[in-house]
Chain A
Amino acid sequence: MTFRDIVPIIVLITLLAFVPVFITANTVLNFLVFTLIIALAAQGWNILGGFGGQFSFGHAAFFGTGAYAAALLQVRLGINPWIAFAIGAVAGAAVGWAIGYLSFRSGLRGSYFALVTLAFAEVLRILANAAAFTGGAAGVLIKLDVRPENFQFESRGAFFWIALALVGAVLVLTRWIERSRFGAQLVAVRENEAAAKALGVDTLRVKLGAITLSGAVTAAAGCLYAQYFLYVDASIAYGTWISVEAILAPIVGGLGTVFGPLVGAVALHGLSEITKLAAGSVPGIDLMVFGGLLVAAVAFAPEGILGLLRRSAQAKGAARHA
């Protein structure tokens, strides 16, 4: 990876960093922070699903682990929230490695892998909902104590910048994966696992690396969620909604691309706000559109929004040369 590879990322993040300067409305900033959290979770999914071709239907397992770790470490053990945040991401990596070790070692792939990840997330949800340590069904409330060293800020802008910085860091990480030997091996596993193995790629190690990174990134999104909303319960942290969001954004934006998850998350949540404005407060209407969009994306735009843009740019270029 050279410096030129990350120039577009630096430009994009710098431009986005000015948003809170111009927009100070809380509702808009809320929307933006939430969208960035989703984008981060989706970036995690994209490393494993987009580059590695292993479709997890249970990324809630990582998101929830991050969220609960961040909340419980400070509430139950009095650990500083910034340190809790870091431990949360590491916990997500550990859960990722463990789930990966168990399922990849047994040779699970495709639908079976999707199912087993779904089941792991459900087990964690049921446990978190029942155990006393996690607050049971009542969840965990993080005490409001607005101090920067406490990871709580007066302005929503500060949170926006932290979320943006994390998204930017993962963009760089994803770019590095794309350019690295590890990334090439990961794509080889996606395209043809047997051939990759025959060429000497240690497929188990490569997949384990991907799911560990993936778990860490999605767990970081979970930590951020807990820290922003100051509340976690089992159906939020380990709920299927976040697994679905993490799948949708990369597919709509562009599977296996660096910017895909971010573009997808912004497009989906922008659309969801528009539907809510248009249809009023009918519950479920925005998700109904998401579902339809997923089918449409697979049917008509398998490379997502980025793929459509690239194709239309190429068509324009061709028209100009003609």
Chain B
Amino acid sequence: MYSPAIIAEAVVNGLMTGAVYALIALGLTLVYGVLHIINFAHGALLTAAMFAVWVVYEALGLDPYLAILPLTPLFFGMGYAVQRFVIGPASHGNDSNILLVTLGLSIAIENALLAGFRSDTRTLNTDYGFQIVEFGPLLLSKPRLIGFGAAISVTVLLWLLLSRTDTGKAIRAVAKEKFGASLVGIDVAHVYAVTFGLGCACLAVAACLLMPTFYVNPRIGQAFVLVAFTIVVLGGMGSIPGALLGGLFIGVVESLCGLFLGDSLGQIGIFLIFILVLLVRPTGMFGAKA
């Protein structure tokens, strides 16, 4: 019914989308691994980042790929401040409170964007948005290929940061045993905030990679965040290789489900995987035993 070329193209397209999904999931899994909370504001922060890309493009004419340079540190700083001055103090160290605080933040951010930008869907009109690259028999979208490469690079960079630098060591120490980490002189509140900042920085990069081929409206984050939750749960909460492989896998699943089931039912495959993994093996493929 479907020729191998169409299926191959769907798989490759899925992999390219999946890499950006992985980047979004990376921020989520990092925050989970260290703070042991699910950040429900992740999707709303992604929407905010996508609007930021749109604003700098429209107002300053800044190319989305160049926007990575100013937006990544900006979102790092914002994430740092949000964790340090809002989520941390407001939740009194109680896990279910953190859940509610991030939910509240997500509602506030999403609707602030709705109030500011209205519900119109916006796109960027770059001259390379529709360029394609021929790759053997496959036709691939150039901006998505760039997104794929960049997302993989950022994942590797993040992994290096965590495994090779002192900051990374401190983050891993807090993730393992926060009381012990504080005893050896690590400022736990600072490390929490840095981790949250890194999560937001991932979102800024993901937003810059998405915008040349995607659109933004105030509700767009919801669609991504559920996919990101699925990836994080599938790959194992807190696992970086898990997030990368999970992201690629989910990208392919979504692409194939869309091909076989049509657009309106396409997403259901993701949620069914999500529920199944949660019910059968909530620690995921790479997660440690809970």
B56 adjacent to chain A (CB < 8 Å): no
Chain B neighbourhood of A286, CB < 8 A = 111
Chain B, range 88-144, C-beta contacts under 8 Å to A: 89-92, 95-97, 99-101, 103-115, 118-119
Q: Report the minimum CB–CB distance from B158 to chain A (whole Å).
A: 22
**B119–A295 CB distance below 8 A:** no
Q: Report the stretch among B172-180, B205-213, B244-252, B264-272 that lies at the interface.
A: B264-272
A contacts with B, residue count (CB < 8 A):
44
**B280–A284 CB distance below 8 A:** no
**A111–B279 CB distance below 8 A:** no
Chain B neighbourhood of A308, CB < 8 A = none
Q: Report the stretch among A87-95, A123-131, A160-168, A212-220 that lies at the interface.
A: A123-131
The CA-CA distance from A247 to B104 in the complex, in Å, is 10
Q: Report the stretch among A2-10, A22-30, A100-108 that lies at the interface.
A: A100-108
Q: Report the minimum CB–CB distance from A120 to chain B (whole Å).
A: 7
**A295–B101 CB distance below 8 A:** yes
B86 adjacent to chain A (CB < 8 Å): yes
Chain B neighbourhood of A111, CB < 8 A = 37-38, 95, 99
Chain B neighbourhood of A114, CB < 8 A = 38, 99
Enumerate the 9 nearest inter-chain pairs by beta-carbon distance, A residue then B residue, closest first.
A291-B108, A294-B104, A291-B107, A284-B114, A299-B90, A284-B111, A288-B111, A295-B104, A287-B111
- Interfacial residues, chain B to chain A (CB-CB below 8 A): 37-38, 40, 86, 89-92, 95-97, 99-101, 103-115, 118-119, 218, 222, 226, 229-230, 233, 264-265, 267-268, 271-272, 274-275, 278-280, 282
Smallest CB gap from A107: residue in B? B282
A110 adjacent to chain B (CB < 8 Å): yes
**A126–B103 CB distance below 8 A:** no
**A57–B282 CB distance below 8 A:** no
Chain A neighbourhood of B38, CB < 8 A = 111, 114-115
The CA-CA distance from A42 to B115 in the complex, in Å, is 26
- Say which residue of A118, A137, A290 sits within 8 Å of B226 (CB atoms): A118
A53 adjacent to chain B (CB < 8 Å): yes
From DSSP, what is the main secondary structure of chain A's interface residues? helix
Chain B neighbourhood of A290, CB < 8 A = 104, 107-108, 111
Q: Report the minimum CB–CB distance from B102 to chain A (whole Å).
A: 9
A303 adjacent to chain B (CB < 8 Å): no
- Interfacial residues, chain A to chain B (CB-CB below 8 A): 53, 55, 57, 102-103, 106-108, 110-112, 114-116, 118-120, 122-123, 126-127, 129-130, 137, 240, 244, 247, 251, 282-288, 290-295, 298-299, 302
Chain B neighbourhood of A108, CB < 8 A = 278-279, 282
**A123–B268 CB distance below 8 A:** yes
Q: Report the minimum CB–CB distance from B92 to chain A (whole Å).
A: 8
Chain A neighbourhood of B280, CB < 8 A = 106
A-B interface contact total, Cβ < 8 Å: 134
**B271–A123 CB distance below 8 A:** yes
19 pairs, A vs B, C-beta closer than 8 Å: A55-B100, A114-B99, A116-B274, A119-B271, A123-B271, A123-B272, A123-B275, A126-B265, A244-B103, A247-B100, A282-B115, A283-B119, A284-B112, A284-B113, A287-B110, A291-B109, A295-B86, A298-B101, A298-B104
Chain B neighbourhood of A247, CB < 8 A = 100, 103
**A288–B112 CB distance below 8 A:** yes
**B90–A106 CB distance below 8 A:** no
**B267–A126 CB distance below 8 A:** yes
Smallest CB gap from B108: residue in A? A291
Chain B neighbourhood of A292, CB < 8 A = 104, 108
Query: Would A122 and B226 be within 8 Å (CB), given that A127-B268, A283-B119 are in contact?
Result: yes
Q: Report the minimum CB–CB distance from A298 to chain B (whole Å).
A: 5
The CA-CA distance from A119 to B273 in the complex, in Å, is 10
The CA-CA distance from A118 to B73 in the complex, in Å, is 32
Smallest CB gap from B230: residue in A? A119
**B278–A116 CB distance below 8 A:** yes
Among the interface residues B104, B105, B106, which one has the most CB atoms of the partner chain A within 10 A? B104
- Say which residue of B100, B218, B230, B267 sits within 8 Å of A284 (CB atoms): B218
Q: Report the minimum CB–CB distance from B232 to chain A (whole Å).
A: 9
Chain B neighbourhood of A287, CB < 8 A = 107, 110-111, 114
**A285–B103 CB distance below 8 A:** no
Q: A119-B275, A291-B105, A295-B101 are in contact. List 13 more A-B contacts (CB 8 A).
A: A103-B278, A106-B282, A108-B279, A116-B279, A119-B274, A126-B267, A247-B103, A251-B100, A284-B111, A287-B110, A288-B114, A298-B90, A298-B100
